[in-house]
Amino acid sequence: MESKGRDMTVLMLPWLGHSHVSSYLQLGKRLARRGVSIYLCSTPVNLKSVQQALVNNPSIKTVELHLPTWPELPPQHHTVNGLPPNLLSTLKKAFDMAAPEFSHILQTLKPDLLIYDVFQYWAPEVALPQNVPSVLYITSGAVTACHFHHQHNNPHSPFPFPEIYFTDYEKAKNENSFKVNAHGMTTLERVSSCVSQSQMVLVKSCNEIEEKYIHYLSTLSGKKVLPAGLIVSETVDWKEDEDTEIFEWLNKKDKASTVFVSTGTECHLSKEDVEDIANGLELSGVNFIWFVKFPDGDFMGEFLKKFRERNMGEKGIILETWAPQARILQHSSIGGFVSHCGRGSVTEALAYGVPIIAIPMQYDQPLNARVLEEAKLAEEVKRDSNGRLQEGNIAKVIKKIVFHQDGNEIRRKIKNLSASHKENEDKYLDIVVDELHKLCNI
């Protein structure tokens, strides 16, 4: 698409999770290539984490947003990454209290457009009197937004897509996240308010997966809802001295013989989940790379010591600090992704054509898993009534997805989706940019 409106300036305000900041940055890069100047606004600790990704992107500038600092919430905790779960409500409260400073940022920068996230209901409120149009960019996909928006506005009416649901176990686990928290608002109220106040909604998704949910969200909200595409992180140039051991190990494995296992950087695994995943990997007999933040405890230390003794080396690798996920998923030896179904991980797997073994943990992840399973792009490991994944179930699904003939349809469909999306990504973004220009009269 030929760029137009090069004087168009967009201020982006993501939620404070690293995956949200990264998703906004990736959208910002695509918009910048189409002649849009971008300001990415977040806390200093979040901006520091993406500085390297901003190299060679002069059209993207960062703007620091300073939150109140309290003894229990020092500046290094002004991010969801590494945040103790009991401080999440405190972080939301601090973020809400930064609204006046954000209003000042708007007054100073005078952008043509604000793109904001699903938790900061106050962002469009402060933009409105300054005549700055507001667009909501949902990084979690359409199904989560329309499920939450429906639940808030039609609490006594069943969701019209019965294949999309939370189990009783998942509802109980999410209870603290969804109940009243900072400033007396529930998560559902925040999401619904952000949708209602927007002048347009963008979703990190595509019609090939979520077309009916995109349409339903538009019907529910009365807003124009546009898919922006999967928008995965662009793989940076790989330096030979980085992560060589991982890729030397992968290079020795047969094609599609190995699984990558990750539950993300913001998920706190229980010892039961660790046990079930570890034992399931061992039972499956598959090669694996496992990126995991282990829970503390003497039991875990002894359990993992024995697991390492049996499996490390030719059979598996455990990474505990960081994993080059995008590059690993693109390697020809990877035949499956055991994933918590966080949206960033899901979109990378779809873009790179890697079938998913779904082990959703929290928040919107069960909904993501069920959309993928409905589309035959993944198979979910179903938990029992006590919330256990069960090692036998994990092993069974891994073997089906990676090795067995009855996994052929999932493997074929996700490869086809990956190829289709490569062809269509520019079309999605061109439509988005055209609509943003119309909204701003540029």
DSSP conformation letters of 304-341: HHHHHHHHBTTTEEEESS---HHHHHTSTTEEEEEE--
Walk along the chain (442 residues) in steps of 10 and give the mean pLDDT of each run.
65 95 96 96 97 89 97 96 88 96 98 97 98 97 93 93 95 74 79 95 96 97 97 65 85 97 87 94 97 70 84 90 92 98 95 98 95 98 94 98 96 97 93 97 88
What's the sign of the alpha-carbon dihedral 130, 132, 133, 138?
A: negative
For residue 39, what are its two tokens?
């300001």
Superfamily of domain 244-419: Glycogen Phosphorylase B; (3.40.50.2000)
- Cα 254 to chain center, whole Å? 30
Whole-angstrom Cα distance, residue 244 to residue 250? 10
pLDDT for res 182: 61
Q: Is 406 exposed, middle or buried (0-12, 13-18, 19+ CB in 10 A)?
A: exposed
pLDDT for res 243: 79
Per-domain boundaries in the chain:
9-233+424-440, 244-419
Backbone angles phi, psi at 336, to 5 degrees: -170, 160
Contact 368, 141 (CB under 8 A): yes
- Cα 279 to chain center, whole Å? 27
Q: At what angle do helices 207-221 and 365-374 cross, to 10 degrees?
A: 120
Contacts of 307-314 with CB under 8 Å at 24 or more apart are 307/278, 307/282, 310/282, 311/281, 311/282, 314/287
pLDDT for res 267: 82
Among residues 294, 279, 272, 278, the alpha carbon closest in space to that of 169 is found at: 272
Query: Which active-site residues does the annotation give?
Result: 20, 117
Superfamily of domain 9-233+424-440: Glycogen Phosphorylase B; (3.40.50.2000)
pLDDT for res 128: 97
Whole-angstrom Cα distance, residue 60 to residue 313? 42
Whole-angstrom Cα distance, residue 398 to residue 419? 23
Q: 3-class SS at 23?
A: helix
Per-residue exposure over 368-394, b if at least 16 CB sit within 10 Å of its own CB, e if not: bbbbbbebebbbbbebeeeeebbbebb
Contact 264, 241 (CB under 8 A): no
pLDDT for res 241: 54
pLDDT for res 131: 97
Whole-angstrom Cα distance, residue 346 to residue 62? 27
Backbone angles phi, psi at 356, to 5 degrees: -110, 130
pLDDT for res 5: 46
Whole-angstrom Cα distance, residue 397 to residue 261? 13
Whole-angstrom Cα distance, residue 361 to residue 358? 9
Among residues 77, 24, 20, 9, the alpha carbon closest in space to that of 54 is found at: 24
Instruction: Name beta bridge partners: 258.
Output: 287, 334
Whole-angstrom Cα distance, residue 277 to residue 324? 20
For residue 388, what are its two tokens?
């256990």
Decide if 9-233+424-440 and 244-419 have a common fold. Answer: yes
- DSSP H/E element including 365: helix 365-374
Q: Cα separations (Å) of 369 from 33, 181, 394?
A: 32, 26, 15
pLDDT for res 37: 96
Whole-angstrom Cα distance, residue 23 to residue 138? 10
In the sheet with 316-319, reading across from the earlier edge strand, the strands are 316-319, 287-291, 258-262, 334-339, 356-358, 378-380
